[in-house]
Amino acid sequence: MLNILSKLKTQKNFSNNEQIVVDFILANPIRILDMTTKEVSKQCFVSVATIYRLCDKLDLSGFSDLKVKISNSIHDFQKEDEDFDFDFPVKEFQTHYEIIEKLKEDYEKTLISTANIFNLDQLKLAVSAMKKAKYIDIYTSAGNVYLAQNFQFQMKEIGVNINVPLEEYQQRLSAASSDNTHLAIIISFEGRGLLTNTLFHTLKATKTPILLISSYEIQLQDIKPDYHLYISPYENHYKKISSFSTRLSILYILDVLYTCYFEMDYQGHLNKKIDFYKIMSKHHIK
């Protein structure tokens, strides 16, 4: 599921020589399929060892594995990578029809780019952690709060209580009173929220497992989450019409988490949801 070309484009922990190879691959994804390590080495003016270090950093078994992943990724990556202005998908003086079409294109490309960087191993571990947790807490801010509350509502419909502390004091208190029976879900595009690093340190101190939903650009100093899922990275933080892409990407990730959790006991969760609404309808006072 994880598109290797999308990963190469968004991952930021490469050395200078590794980045030269990455840039060459992204510019020549089809050509690279017929090249040897020696040919790539000569073309990029780097050592063969650099290419193997890059493969190792990508958790691949070698250059042949990299080429297989590239071959499987080219089609979806090219659909994602077509030139598109995510910050200003709609221009001045466009018609209502053009606005409808451009927002549709924005959403389609957002879903493709988010799907391309979904790590199935991380997703499986995150859903397992949700199932194991006695309590689930979501920490976020601004417009993302409404997405968290929507997820809270979905989970409540199948009998799972989610805590979404809103105020700064509530978030800090919730993190401080947490422990390893909780799962903390932090949603932050690039960690610019005032509390992001504070919450990370507090949750690590209380030994709370952390699922981070963010872009690749996030800077968290020396602290790493236990599980990490990535938001489509193409929007600017503030110089844009609105958070069309980021909002949809986060909603998509949360919906995937909910649906994967639901699927773990599909019939049981479905029965529970239907039973809740039957009880509500039966005792509804007109």
SS3 279: helix
With H, G, I as helix, E, B as strand and everything else as coil, classify residue 182.
strand
Lowest mean pLDDT among 28-37, 210-219, 227-236: 210-219
CB atoms within 10 A of CB 265: 13
pLDDT higher than 60, residue 5: yes
Confidence of residue 237 (pLDDT cuts 50, 70, 90): confident
Q: How confident is the model at residue 197 (pLDDT cuts 50, 70, 90)?
A: confident
Query: Who's near 149: CB < 8 A, 6+ residues apart?
Result: 164
What's the average model confidence in pLDDT over 223-232? Answer: 91
Residue partners of 221: CB distance under 8 A and separation at least 6? 197
How many other C-beta atoms can be found within 10 angstroms of the C-beta atom of residue 184?
27
Query: How high is the pLDDT of residue 213?
Result: 95
Residue 253 confidence (pLDDT): 98
Assigned CATH topology for domain 1-81: Arc Repressor Mutant, subunit A (1.10.10)
Confidence class of residue 1 from pLDDT cuts 50, 70 and 90? low
* Confidence grade of residue 207 (pLDDT, cut at 50, 70, 90): very high
Asked whether the predicted pLDDT for residue 284 surpasses 60, the reply is yes
- Residue-level pLDDT at 193: 65
Identity of the residue numbered 265: D
Q: Over 80: is that where the pLDDT of 187 sits?
A: yes
- CA proximity to 21, closest of 2, 40, 49: 40
Give the pLDDT confidence score for residue 81 in this predicted structure.
Answer: 59
Cβ neighbors of 224 (< 8 A, separation 6 or more) are none
Cα–Cα distance between 99 and 93 in angstroms, integer?
10
Q: What torsion do the CA atoms of 115, 145, 201, 261 make, to the nearest 10 degrees?
A: -50
Check whether 286 has a pLDDT greater than 90.
Answer: no
pLDDT beyond 70 at 73: yes
pLDDT in tens, 32-70: 999 999 999 999 999 999 999 999 999 899 999 999 989
Answer yes or no: is pLDDT of 160 > 60.
yes
C-alpha to C-alpha distance for 7 and 159, rounded to whole angstroms: 36
Q: What is the pLDDT of residue 82?
A: 63
Model confidence at 164: pLDDT above 90: yes
- Give the domain ranges of the chain: 1-81, 120-274
Find out whether 144 and 255 touch, Cβ atoms under 8 Å.
Answer: no
Q: Is 86 left (phi over 0), alpha (psi -120 to 50) or beta?
A: alpha
Would you say domain 120-274 falls under CATH 1.10.760.10? Answer: no
81-103 per-position pLDDT tens digit: 567 899 999 999 999 999 999 99
Q: Which helix (H) or strand (E) holds 41?
A: helix 37-44
The 10s digit of each residue's pLDDT in 107-158 is 999 998 899 888 888 999 999 999 999 999 999 998 899 999 999 999 999 9
| pLDDT of 184 over the 90 cut | yes
| pLDDT on residue 177 | 97
Instruction: Considering only residues 113 and 1, tell me which one the structure prediction assigns the higher pLDDT.
Output: 113
Most confident stretch, 82-91, 154-163, 187-196: 154-163
